[in-house]
Chains A and B, each alone.
Chain A
Amino acid sequence: MNQKRNRLTVIHDILRVIQKKNSKIKPTHIIYKANLSHAMLEEYMKEMIEKGFVEEQKQKKGKTYSLTEKGFNFLKEYKTITAFLESYGLGD
């Protein structure tokens, strides 16, 4: 990837990875598939849980993440959101 991804694109990429894994995925998979560092994942996951896009499930062997309804809606509306933000220069 040549260009630096903006915050919204990273969130979209993470949610897509979770969606592709049938909405249940371990953090290490997200790091690998969404091309993130561990610190970045922690930061983004905290934000996405706060925004209600993702839910965290504590397991015996670590934790997994799944999409919420709001997360699914975000993915569905992503193109429209970015088109609106771009038109008014409201991106990162």
Chain B
Amino acid sequence: MGYLFATPSWFFGIDIALELAFAVITLAVGLYSYKVYKLSGKNQVKTFSIAFSLISVSYLIQSITNFLILSKLNENVCRAFNIASINTLNNIGFYAYMLFFTIGLLTLTHTTLRSKNERIYPLMFAVTFLAILFSTNQLYIFYLLASTLLTYMVWHYFQNYIKNKQTKTLIVLVAFVFLLFGRLHFLVSVNHSLFYMIGHFLELVAYILILINLILVIRK
């Protein structure tokens, strides 16, 4: 299955820069939450930190894959790893991105459940990956599952905002609404190259908001 999107030529390179920026912002949240975990000792925060770090790795992989596809390096990489074609390289990159992003999102969702039952996480993990693995349209299922998990996250952050009406809780809520739209858009989109572009811009707004929240928290 080929996952190469027909990206508009003017968007070449911009997507790589955006993915790299998403990786940096999510890594910053991951590292900062790890610092909060070290100070507070709350295991929930440690899981939150791992979730954001995994999402960061997924964006980094996506960025590197797109960079390799665009650059002349791809032939050398294909030769070095005995990869048949650029399309195979793209598929490997996309599967790795999908794997890390899904685990990250699952971990983030599990964090908000506050469940002490250790069996819930492996169950969520198994159901999600079996659904993707045995699907005839893995890309569609990936976006469907990501949208479902993000819908739950939006509900969680909406409840958090209602409970605690502050600018920072509103920023996080709006950021996750944008992340949800970025994924949901794919499910209804017929023009996937346009989706690729719009999806990146929606995610950009979301991560800028997440960065603003982080800056507001640190400057407090």
Enumerate chain A interface residues (CB-CB to B < 8 A).
8, 47, 51, 70, 73-74, 77, 79-81, 83-90
A88 touches B40 (CB 8 A): no
Q: Which residues of B contact A79 (CB under 8 A)?
A: 220
Cβ-based interface call for B44 (8 A) = yes
B169 touches A86 (CB 8 A): yes
B159 touches A89 (CB 8 A): yes
Q: Which residues of A contact B44 (CB under 8 A)?
A: 90
Q: Which residues of B contact A88 (CB under 8 A)?
A: 48, 157, 160, 172
In the complex the two chains form, what is the Cα distance from A51 to B166 in whole Å? 30
How many residues on the B side are at the interface (Cβ–Cβ under 8 A)?
28
Report A88 CB to chain B, min CB distance, Å.
6
Report A91 CB to chain B, min CB distance, Å.
8
A85 touches B36 (CB 8 A): yes
Cβ-based interface call for B112 (8 A) = yes
In the complex the two chains form, what is the Cα distance from A80 to B156 in whole Å? 22
Q: Name B45's contact: one of A70, A80, A90 (CB within 8 Å).
A: A90
A80 touches B218 (CB 8 A): yes
In the complex the two chains form, what is the Cα distance from A8 to B160 in whole Å? 18
In the complex the two chains form, what is the Cα distance from A79 to B216 in whole Å? 12
Chain A, Cβ-Cβ closest to B112: A89
B39 touches A74 (CB 8 A): yes
Interface string of B169-198 (1 = CB under 8 A from A): 101100000000000000000000000000
Given contacts A89-B112, A89-B157, A90-B45, are A83 and B168 in contact (CB under 8 A)? yes
Interface centre among B36, B112, B156, B164 (most CB of A within 10 A): B36
